[in-house]
Structure 1
Amino acid sequence: MTISVITFDLDNTLWDVEPALLRAEEAQRQWLITHRPGAIEVFDHDALFEFKKAVWKRHPQLVHNVTQMRLQTLYELLLIADYSETEASSGASEAFAVFLAERHKVVLYEEALSILETLARSYTLGALTNGNADIYKTDAAEYFDFAFLAEDIGRAKPHPDMFQAALDKTGVKADQIIHVGDDPDHDVQGANAIGMRSVWVNLRGKLWPGGTRADEEIEKLQALPAAIARIAAMP
């Protein structure tokens, strides 16, 4: 087998996303308190979560577009706080911009950049993410040849359209791509279903939940190059 392309999930595969999301949520909250007072202060954590769930139920067409879903949630939040449609629209856009700027201040796992640099010498690298992280706004930008977000494709992993986008972009066969990710369903099952090889990045020592296993499982990112080499050596 000739492996020529490696695709990566991003959040919790190349970095721990939780710290960045927490900072981003707080930055957005502070912006709203300052610029759209009364919109968010009345909600505690549980009430805000219930409000978000209600928006998700009303707009199922946005389930694969986390950016538009967040914008819609902010817009509706501002409307019920008696802001005009114009104020709600502009407020949603500006609050989201604050969120997104902080969301991209991710800290890659310590070994990630050196691994990507090594792999980029031999393989085409791509990103496939269900989130709204832009790999080109991170320190890993220079090593990636392409990137697709679920909101660009209109479908989220494990739907085959996400993986098909990588096939269409590179022009290679499915078994010439290794997909690397932390989610057994979205990443491993999704890649396997279309015929790609897969590596499960299990940095948190989780038990395999069932289903077809990945070709390789790693518990440290340092083990990725060796895992890829073993897959590439398979007949």
Structure 2
Amino acid sequence: MPASPIKLITFDLDNTLWDVEPALLRAEQAQYLWLQQHRPAVTRKFNPQAMRDFRVTHYKQHPELAHQISAIRISAVQAMLLAAGYDSDNANAGAQAAFDVFMELRHQVQPYEQALDVLQQLSKEYQLGALTNGNADIFKLELGDCFDFSFSAEQVDASKPLPDMFHAAMSAAQVDNHQVVHVGDNPHHDIYGAKQVGLFTVWMNSGDWRWPRGEPADEEISKLQQLPDAIRRIEAKLA
């Protein structure tokens, strides 16, 4: 049997391997409760919606942290704590502790059905890499045992669809662009971004969305169980 022309499969994480919204909601709630207990003045000044609104404004005011999702989240809480009257030391320590609470819950995700089985199967034939604009660490999850490496926007200081993460993955795996398939849920960040550097693409469309516009992915799936067959179809076109 001839060797596969595909050597590397890269994956987005949030909403590609799991639905991230429930975990983010729980994490936000846990962080607010921690602040309510340990820095109560800030929760008297900001209710949860006001905190979200403040964070959006803070993000816009700090474009230099656009790709540093953890740093900007900590920075926003620091600013709220200062606005609530805490001194610098209390604001800094409180923001970091609140972020630690957030991150613990942020990683309590429920992978999509058969995600582990599919990744274990693929890892026997291909290198696997994780590429995320978020701050999830795949190696904190059981799924991480299937991956060879991971890159985040924070690490490379550039978010998809910028090419930096895709180039980092190719360098780590020592492969060329025509040997890579990228799997992701976001048409712009994942599919457009990967295509711009010449990768093959699989759109994870778990919500039955209509393709927005532009060149579609090479393959489309609604469940991870369909991914191995999608990879095979890409390989067949290259044979």
TM-score between both structures, scaled by the size of structure 2 = 0.96
How far is the alpha carbon of 1:43 from its aligned partner?
2.4
Moved over 2 A (4+): 40-50
Task: Tell me the residue number matched to 2:85.
Answer: 82
Counterpart among 141, 145, 152 of residue 155 in structure 2: 152
Q: Take 2:137 and 2:51, find their aligned partners in 1: how far apart are those partners? A: 26
How far is the alpha carbon of 1:56 from its aligned partner?
1.0
Q: Take 1:32 and 1:39, find their aligned partners in 2: how far apart are those partners? A: 7
Q: Does residue 173 of the first structure (1) align with residue 176 of the second (2)? A: yes
**Quick one: which amino acid aligns to residue 153 of structure 1?**
V
Which consecutive unaligned segments of at least 5 residues does structure 2 have? none
Where 1:195 maps in the other structure, the secondary structure is: coil
Percent pairwise identity: 50
Task: Tell me the residue number matched to 1:162.
Answer: 165
Where 2:131 maps in the other structure, the secondary structure is: strand
TM-score between both structures, scaled by the size of structure 1 = 0.97
**Alignment RMSD (CA, Å):** 1.0
Moved more, 46-55 or 88-97: 46-55
Q: Deviations over 1:14-53 (max 9, x none)?
A: 0010111011001100100000111123323443232112
**Quick one: which amino acid aligns to residue 57 of structure 2?**
A
Q: Take 2:39 and 2:228, find their aligned partners in 1: how far apart are those partners? A: 49
Q: Deviations over 1:78-119 (max 9, x none)?
A: 000110100000000000000001101111112100000100
How far is the alpha carbon of 1:164 from its aligned partner?
0.6
Q: Take 1:55 and 1:44, find their aligned partners in 2: how far apart are those partners? A: 16
Q: Does residue 41 of the first structure (1) align with residue 44 of the second (2)? A: yes
Task: Tell me the residue number matched to 2:193.
Answer: 190
Q: Take 1:121 and 1:85, find their aligned partners in 2: how far apart are those partners? A: 51
Q: Take 1:69 and 1:106, find their aligned partners in 2: how far apart are those partners? A: 22
Task: Tell me the residue number matched to 2:31.
Answer: 28
Q: Take 1:40 and 1:225, find their aligned partners in 2: how far apart are those partners? A: 48
Q: Take 2:186 and 2:56, find their aligned partners in 1: how far apart are those partners? A: 23
Q: How many residues align?
A: 235
Q: Take 1:54 and 1:77, find their aligned partners in 2: how far apart are those partners? A: 12
Do the aligned partners of 2:160 and 2:189 also contact (CA within 8 Å) in 1? Answer: yes
Counterpart among 54, 74, 99 of residue 102 in structure 2: 99
How far is the alpha carbon of 1:6 from its aligned partner?
0.3
Q: Take 1:76 and 1:42, find their aligned partners in 2: how far apart are those partners? A: 12
Q: Take 2:149 and 2:221, find their aligned partners in 1: how far apart are those partners? A: 24
